[in-house]
Structure formats: C-alpha cells, structure tokens
C-alpha cells in the first residue's frame, strides 16, 4: 500500500519554527516563500490545504530583543502576540503573489474539545476552504495557559486533520525523515511505518533547534500515530523537500493508516487528554459501553479512584485493570461514588432527577485499543 499525495483533495500541512526562522530567531522570508510556492503546486491541482504554522513566538523574539525562546509563560505570550502579526503578514504577501487569500485561525485545546466551539471551528474552516481561502492555523499562544495547551503544533495539526476529515497530514521540519537512530551514529532513514510495532527500537531525537522550537521527532511521531489510528496517512520530511513531495516524489517517512476515521475530539480524548481518575465497570457494562457503544450508566460502576470534577477526563476500566475507554465525566468523583451500582430510577428517588443522566455519555467517550 502507498499514498499518492497528488490525488489528495484536502491536506493539512504543518511546518515547524526551525524551518521558518533564522538562527537569531527572526522569520526567514526566503524559506517561507519557498514553502508557499510549494503549497501552490497542490492548490493549482485543486487540493485544498490547511497550513498549521509554528513561528509566532520565534518571530516575536527579535522585535522584543530576546535571543532565545523565554521559559516563562507570560513572556512566551508576549512574544506570540508580537510575532503572530508579522508571521501572518509574510504569509499574506507570499500567497497574494499567487492570487490567494489567507485567513488566520488561532485555536486553543478547549476549542477542539468543547462541543460548541468544536463545531464552530469546523464550520469556520469549512467556509474558508469553500471560499478558496488558505487557513493559517496556530495555537493561540497569547492566551493559552499551561493547563490547556496542545503542547506543540504537531499535535494541533493532527487534531485539525481529524477535525476536517483531511486525506492526509504532512509534517515538515528540518529533518528529512524518521531515522532508526542518530544519523551521526550510523542511523538510517525509515521509508515507511505500517504498524506501531515498527517503531520498536527506534531512537527518537531531541526536541527542536535549541531556543527556537518546542517539538521534535517525538511529537511528530505522536502526531503521525494520532492520525493513522484514525484512518489518515501521514508523511514526515523536511521543508526543503516539500516541492518534490507535492510533485509526487516518495521522500521522507510514510506512516500508513491503521484505524477508522474519527473526529478531533475523539482523537484528543484517546491520545492527549490528561486523566484525573478512573471508573471501573463490570462485565455487563463493558459489553454495553464498548461492544454496543452505549453511554456509561451508574448501575455498571463498581469502583471509583482519583479526585475529579464534572467535565474532567477519566479512564474507564474493567476489573482486570484494562483501560477500555476514556471520556468526560458528567459528575465529580464524590458524586459517582454515591451513584455507583444504582439503577436510574433509584438515583432519581435518592439523589434527584439530575442524577439520572449517564455518568459518561457515549458522545463524550473514546474507545481505545485495550491497554493495561
């Protein structure tokens, strides 16, 4: 099996800070223009593209007189606020050269996990694409807090690919492929990854260029795993090879899809969400929740661990400790402990009508490949 990128109708392309910036942290206009020219190859064939671009914080370093990415969140937010405008201005000029308009879309993780904003984000992107606009997405670094961050634009790109049902994800960096070990120590490039087992023994390199990027090969492989688990192929290569890739060359590393397509919210729950506790369920509930894909009711709950509030993410496990699903709890841990094992009618009589709702609704749940 292979992936013909020239036949894709819709692609998410992520480019890292190190591919767009100079060594002193400023924007490399030449590198950005080359990327836009390469993207135009796809657009000329009728492929819709969504560009997830890092570089806002890096672009803000020089104007603020900073020589490296600041460690504290407030300084990062300030750099992002200054740099995002400069970054978008460069993209606007570069795409305008090809007669294209760009649209800025800044997201936080909450935008893709809360139902209302999730739908709004999807509608906005779909409308921009329908109008022939190139959406330029970045994490909203100026307002995102440590607790609600994607952590890296690789993950944001993966969730965006799931959100818009893209035909593929392209991860562009300053590395031409995934290697099975450090290239300086004899590591060789890997042409394709078909199963997660293919990554066994692979040594992933450090994070991005010192003082510039936040990601690295670890987050790129995580992003590739997110989309391939949801039926979307991914290709990882360097920004320098983008033009060749978009022309059909088989460069870099191809990650083949291995699962069914699901939305960004489900992908976030399955792969990125931080759990605050766990809910253990009996055999009958496992069959209903996992096999029949129903909501989790209190009657099937046998044990509750951890301290969580309504809206927090919890693991849903069986008595053997196997994690079968992950979802958003409708109640706090204290409430679920009072509710466990009770039928819906009994909950209404003892605790009130509001407690007759599912503990975890099926729409707020991601079923997992069973893990322990």
Kindly indicate the confidence band of residue 213, based on its pLDDT and cuts at 50, 70 and 90. very low
Contact 96, 55 (CB under 8 A): no
- Mean residue pLDDT of the chain comes to 86
Predicted local distance difference test score (pLDDT) of residue 233 = 95
The percentage of the chain sitting over the pLDDT mark of 70, rounded to a whole number, equals 89
Specify the domain boundaries for CATH 2.30.130.10 within the chain: 274-371
- Residues making up the annotated binding site for substrate are 54, 141, 153
Q: What is the pLDDT of residue 168?
A: 96
pLDDT at 147 over 50: no
Q: Which residues are annotated as a binding site for ATP?
A: 14, 173-174, 214-220
Mean pLDDT (whole number) for 28-51? 95
130 pLDDT more than 70: yes
Q: Does the structure show a pLDDT above 90 at 117?
A: no
For the chain, percent of residues with pLDDT exceeding 90:
53
Tell me the mean pLDDT in the region 344-353. 94
The 3-state DSSP class for residue 39 equals helix
Confidence of residue 343 (pLDDT cuts 50, 70, 90): very high
- Which helix (H) or strand (E) segment holds residue 303: the answer is strand 301-306
CATH superfamily of 274-371: PUA domain (2.30.130.10)
Q: What is the pLDDT confidence band of residue 205, given thresholds at 50, 70 and 90?
A: low
Q: Going by DSSP bridges, is the β-strand pair 134-139/192-193 parallel, antiparallel, or unpaired?
A: unpaired
Report the pLDDT averaged over residues 261-272: 73
> What is the distance between the terminal CA atoms of the chain, rounded to a whole angstrom?
31
3-state SS assignment for residue 150: coil
Q: Residue 69 carries which DSSP code?
A: -
- Residues 270-309: tens digit of each pLDDT: 776 778 999 999 999 999 999 999 999 999 999 999 999 9
Q: What is the pLDDT of residues 50-60, one digit of tens each?
A: 999 988 888 88
Q: Is the pLDDT of residue 209 over 70?
A: no
Q: Does domain 7-268 have CATH number 3.40.50.2300?
A: no
Per the annotation, where are the binding residues? 14, 54, 141, 153, 173-174, 214-220
């Amino acid at each position: 099996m292979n992936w013909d990128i020239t036949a894709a109708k819709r692609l998410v392309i992520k480019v890292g800070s190190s591919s767009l910036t100079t060594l002193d942290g400023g924007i490399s206009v030449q590198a950005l223009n080359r990327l836009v020219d390469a993207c135009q190859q796809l657009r000329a064939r009728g492929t819709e593209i969504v560009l997830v671009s890092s570089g806002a914080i890096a672009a803000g370093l020089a104007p603020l007189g900073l020589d490296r990415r600041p460690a504290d969140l407030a300084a990062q937010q300030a750099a992002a606020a200054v740099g995002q405008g400069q970054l978008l201005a460069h993209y606007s000029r570069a795409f305008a050269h090809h007669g294209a308009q760009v649209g800025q879309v800044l997201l936080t993780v909450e935008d893709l996990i809360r139902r209302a904003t999730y739908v709004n984000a999807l509608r906005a992107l779909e409308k921009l694409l329908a109008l022939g606009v190139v959406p330029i997405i970045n994490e909203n670094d100026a307002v995102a807090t440590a607790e609600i961050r994607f952590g890296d634009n690789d993950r944001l790109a993966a969730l965006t690919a799931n959100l818009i049902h893209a035909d593929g994800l392209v991860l562009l960096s300053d590395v031409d492929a995934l290697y099975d070990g450090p290239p300086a120590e004899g590591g060789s490039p890997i042409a394709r990854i078909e199963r997660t087992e293919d990554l066994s023994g692979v040594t992933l390199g450090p994070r991005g260029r010192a003082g510039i990027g936040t990601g690295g090969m670890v987050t790129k492989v995580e992003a590739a795993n997110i989309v391939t688990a949801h039926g979307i192929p991914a290709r990882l290569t360097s920004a320098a090879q983008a033009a060749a890739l978009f022309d059909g060359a088989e460069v870099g590393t191809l990650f083949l899809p291995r699962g069914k397509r699901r939305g960004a919210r489900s992908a976030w729950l399955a792969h990125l969400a931080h759990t605050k506790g766990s809910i253990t369920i009996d055999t009958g509930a496992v069959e209903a929740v996992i096999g029949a894909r129903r909501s989790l009711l209190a009657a099937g709950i046998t044990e509750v661990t951890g301290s969580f509030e309504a809206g927090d993410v919890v693991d849903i496990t069986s008595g053997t400790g196997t994690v079968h699903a992950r979802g958003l709890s409708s109640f706090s841990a204290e409430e679920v402990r009072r509710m466990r094992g009770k039928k819906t009618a009994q909950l209404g009589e003892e605790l009130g009508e509001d407690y007759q709702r599912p503990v975890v609704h099926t729409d707020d749940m991601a079923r997992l490949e069973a893990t322990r």
